[in-house]
C-alpha cells in the first residue's frame, strides 16, 4: 500500500474530467476495489472494524439506504420519515439502556456522540457560573474526548487505571474539584474492552452533583445483551442514578451502516444545551440539533431498519456467538505461557507478553500479520487486542488463531532483540510502512496523487 494505492491498476485522475464515463465502467471499477478490500474480513481474521459482515444484511440495509440516500434530514417537512426513524431509534436504544425517558439524538458516529456531551456539560457548567470547566476521564477513554475538550476549551484531567485496567476511582475523586462539570467513563474500552467502575463513579457524580457520561460507543450494543445472556457485565446504564448521558454506536455492534450513533440524555434540559439556534439569520430561523447540518436520511433509515429487522432476539443470538468466541479466544491466549490477558474482558480481548518471557508483543504481531490477521496494537503497556465481531464467530477461526499464535510466539523468541515492523497504531494500519504512508497523506494530501509520468500533461491520464 502506498500513497496512491491504485496507481498501478487504474489511470490516475489528475484534473477534472471533461466528459463523464459510462456508469457501467465506473461500477466495474468500484466493484473490483470493494471485492478486493472486503476479502480479508470474510474469513474472520480482522479484529473490530467490520461488525456484522453479513452480506445479506448489508444488501438489505443498502436497499433501505437507497430509498433515502438523497434525502436531507434537515428538511423535516419533506421527509417526516426521518423524524419517525430518529425517534424510534432513540426509543429502542433508550429501552435497551434503561433510560427513564427516550431523550436523545442520532449523530454521525462515536466521535460526535462524545463531543456533544462535552459541549453540553460546558454549557451546563456555565449556567452555574463555572467559567473554567474541567472533566475527569480515564487514560483509556477514547481520544474523541480529547478532541472535544480541545474544540470546546475544556480542561482534561486524566485519571490512571488500576492493575485491572479500569479507572482508579480514588484518583478520579482526587482530581475532581469545584470546576468539574462531568466525569467520563467507558463501558467497553477501546484498548482493553473493559467496563470502568461506573457504579462507583455514579455514586461520586451524585455526591458532587455533577454529570457522568458513559461511552458505550463500542460496548453499548453488545454489553447490553450480556447481562441477559448470563455474562458478568456490571450495570453501566441509566439504572445508575448518576449516569446523565450514554453514547452507543449503531454503526458498530448496532449493525447499521457507517455514519450513525445514538446519544441519550437523562433529561431534556441537558439535551437542550446541545441545540443550536440563530434566530435572525437572513437565511431564516436556523435550528439544528447538533454539529451536523445536512445529513442523509438513508443512514438513519438503515440504522432503524437494522434494529427493526434483528430485534432483541437477533442481537442476542449474534451477541451469544461473539461472547462465546471471545471466551474461547481468551482461553487460547491463556494457554500460551508467554502471554497474559489484560483485565477481565468479555468481547474485546487485549493481551501482552509476560514479564518473565521478556518477548516483544509486536514481534508476535509481525508473524500474525504474515498469516493475514489484523489485530490492533496498543501501548502503555504494549499489547494487542482482538475485538471479536460477527465474522470472527465462524467455525475454525479461534482454532486457526490459536495455532498461528503459538507460531507467532516462537517467531518472537527467534527474532528477540530485532525491531518489530508492527506497532501501536489506532486505525490507519498495522505496520510502520502502512502508517507512514497514511501519515504522509495527512501531512501533505497533495502527495496522494503521484507525480505525472515524465512528458505527460495534466490530462494525460484522463478518461
Q: Applying CB under 6 A, which residues contact ligand PLP?
A: 109-111, 114, 142, 144, 186, 189-190, 215, 217-218, 249
Contact, 239 vs 275, CB < 8 A?
no
Alpha-carbon distance values, 438 to 35, 111, 375, 433, 445 (Å): 22, 20, 18, 9, 10
- And the C-alpha cell for 8? 498501478
Contact, 208 vs 249, CB < 8 A?
no
Of 142 and 330, CB closest to ligand PLP: 142
Report the nearest approach of ligand PLP to the CB of residue 20 (Å): 34
Of 250 and 422, CB closest to ligand PLP: 250
Of 110 and 391, CB closest to ligand PLP: 110
348-353 sheet: strands from edge to edge: 339-341, 348-353, 383-387, 376-378
Alpha-carbon distance values, 242 to 23, 29, 238 (Å): 54, 52, 8
Of 167 and 367, CB closest to ligand PLP: 167
Alpha-carbon distance values, 107 to 51, 103, 293 (Å): 18, 13, 11
Report the nearest approach of ligand PLP to the CB of residue 195 (Å): 11
Of 218 and 299, CB closest to ligand PLP: 218
DSSP 400: H
Mapping DSSP to helix (H, G, I), strand (E, B) and coil, where does residue 301 land? helix
Which is nearest to 36 in space by CA: 13, 6, 61, 58?
6
Of 263 and 409, CB closest to ligand PLP: 263
DSSP for 417-460, please give it.
TSPPSB---SSS-SBHHHHHHHHHHHH-GGGGSPPPPTT--TTT
Of 107 and 422, CB closest to ligand PLP: 107
Contact, 116 vs 275, CB < 8 A?
no
Of 76 and 164, CB closest to ligand PLP: 164
Residue closest to ligand PLP when measured from CB atoms: 110
Dist. CA 17–CA 13, nearest whole Å? 8
Report the nearest approach of ligand PLP to the CB of residue 248 (Å): 10
Of 142 and 266, CB closest to ligand PLP: 142
Report the nearest approach of ligand PLP to the CB of residue 184 (Å): 10
- And the C-alpha cell for 275? 441545540
What's phi and psi for 180, nearest 5 deg?
A: -80, 120
Report the nearest approach of ligand PLP to the CB of residue 185 (Å): 11
Of 256 and 289, CB closest to ligand PLP: 256
Report the nearest approach of ligand PLP to the CB of residue 426 (Å): 8
Report the nearest approach of ligand PLP to the CB of residue 148 (Å): 11
What's phi and psi for 94, nearest 5 deg?
A: -65, -40
Report the nearest approach of ligand PLP to the CB of residue 114 (Å): 6
The count of other CB atoms within 10 Å of the CB of residue 3 is: 16
Dist. CA 318–CA 284, nearest whole Å? 47
Report the nearest approach of ligand PLP to the CB of residue 96 (Å): 17
Report the nearest approach of ligand PLP to the CB of residue 278 (Å): 27
Of 92 and 114, CB closest to ligand PLP: 114
User: How many CA atoms within 13 Å lie on the side-chain side of 368?
Assistant: 28
Dist. CA 308–CA 197, nearest whole Å? 32
261-265 sheet: strands from edge to edge: 104-107, 261-265, 245-248, 211-216, 180-186, 134-138, 155-159
Report the nearest approach of ligand PLP to the CB of residue 214 (Å): 10
350: which strand partners?
385
Report the nearest approach of ligand PLP to the CB of residue 143 (Å): 8
Q: How close are the terminal C-alpha atoms of the chain, in Å? A: 24
Of 159 and 367, CB closest to ligand PLP: 159
Amino acid at each position: 500500500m502506498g500513497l496512491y494505492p491504485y496507481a498501478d491498476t487504474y489511470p490516475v485522475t489528475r484534473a477534472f474530467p471533461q466528459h463523464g464515463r459510462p456508469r457501467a465502467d465506473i461500477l466495474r471499477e468500484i466493484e473490483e476495489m470493494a471485492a478486493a478490500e472486503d476479502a480479508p474480513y470474510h474469513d474472520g481474521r480482522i479484529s473490530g472494524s467490520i461488525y456484522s459482515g453479513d452480506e445479506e444484511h448489508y444488501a438489505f440495509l443498502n436497499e433501505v439506504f437507497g430509498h433515502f440516500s438523497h434525502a436531507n434530514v434537515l428538511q423535516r417537512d419533506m421527509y417526516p420519515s426521518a423524524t419517525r426513524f430518529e425517534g424510534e431509534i432513540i426509543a429502542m436504544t433508550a429501552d435497551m439502556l434503561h433510560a427513564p425517558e427516550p431523550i436523545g439524538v442520532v449523530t454521525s458516529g462515536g466521535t460526535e456522540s462524545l463531543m456533544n456531551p462535552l459541549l453540553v456539560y460546558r454549557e451546563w457548567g456555565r449556567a452555574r457560573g463555572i467559567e473554567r470547566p474541567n472533566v475527569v476521564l480515564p487514560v483509556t477513554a477514547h481520544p474523541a474526548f480529547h478532541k472535544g475538550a480541545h474544540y470546546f476549551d475544556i480542561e482534561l484531567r486524566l485519571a490512571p487505571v488500576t492493575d485491572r485496567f479500569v479507572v482508579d476511582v480514588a484518583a478520579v475523586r482526587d482530581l475532581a474539584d469545584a470546576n468539574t462539570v462531568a466525569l467520563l467513563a467507558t463501558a467497553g474500552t477501546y484498548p482493553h474492552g473493559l467496563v470502568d467502575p461506573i457504579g462507583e463513579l455514579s455514586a461520586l457524580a451524585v455526591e458532587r452533583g455533577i454529570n457522568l457520561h458513559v461511552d458505550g460507543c463500542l460496548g453499548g450494543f453488545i454489553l447490553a445483551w450480556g447481562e441477559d445472556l448470563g455474562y458478568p457485565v456490571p450495570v453501566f446504564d441509566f439504572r445508575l442514578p448518576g449516569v446523565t448521558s450514554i453514547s452507543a454506536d449503531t454503526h458498530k455492534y448496532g449493525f447499521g451502516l457507517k455514519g450513525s450513533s445514538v446519544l441519550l440524555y437523562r433529561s431534556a434540559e441537558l439535551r437542550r444545551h446541545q441545540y443550536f439556534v440563530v434566530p435572525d439569520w437572513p437565511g431564516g430561523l436556523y435550528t439544528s440539533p447538533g454539529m451536523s447540518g445536512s445529513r442523509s436520511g438513508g443512514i438513519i433509515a438503515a440504522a432503524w431498519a437494522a434494529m427493526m429487522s434483528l430485534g432483541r432476539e437477533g442481537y442476542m443470538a449474534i451477541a451469544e456467538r461473539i461472547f462465546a468466541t471471545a471466551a474461547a479466544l481468551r482461553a487460547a491466549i491463556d494457554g500460551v505461557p508467554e502471554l497474559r490477558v489484560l483485565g477481565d474482558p468479555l468481547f474485546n480481548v487485549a493481551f501482552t507478553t509476560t514479564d518473565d518471557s521478556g518477548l516483544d508483543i509486536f514481534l508476535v504481531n509481525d508473524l500474525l500479520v504474515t498469516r493475514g490477521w489484523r489485530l490492533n496494537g496498543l501501548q502503555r503497556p504494549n499489547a494487542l487486542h482482538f475485538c471479536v465481531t460477527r465474522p470472527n464467530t465462524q467455525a475454525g477461526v479461534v482454532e486457526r488463531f490459536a495455532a498461528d499464535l503459538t507460531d507467532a510466539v516462537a517467531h518472537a523468541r527467534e527474532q528477540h532483540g530485532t525491531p518489530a515492523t508492527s506497532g501501536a497504531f489506532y486505525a490507519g494500519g498495522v505496520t510502520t510502512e502502512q502508517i507512514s504512508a497514511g501519515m504522509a497523506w495527512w501531512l501533505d494530501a497533495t502527495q496522494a496523487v503521484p507525480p505525472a509520468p515524465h512528458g505527460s500533461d495534466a490530462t494525460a491520464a484522463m478518461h
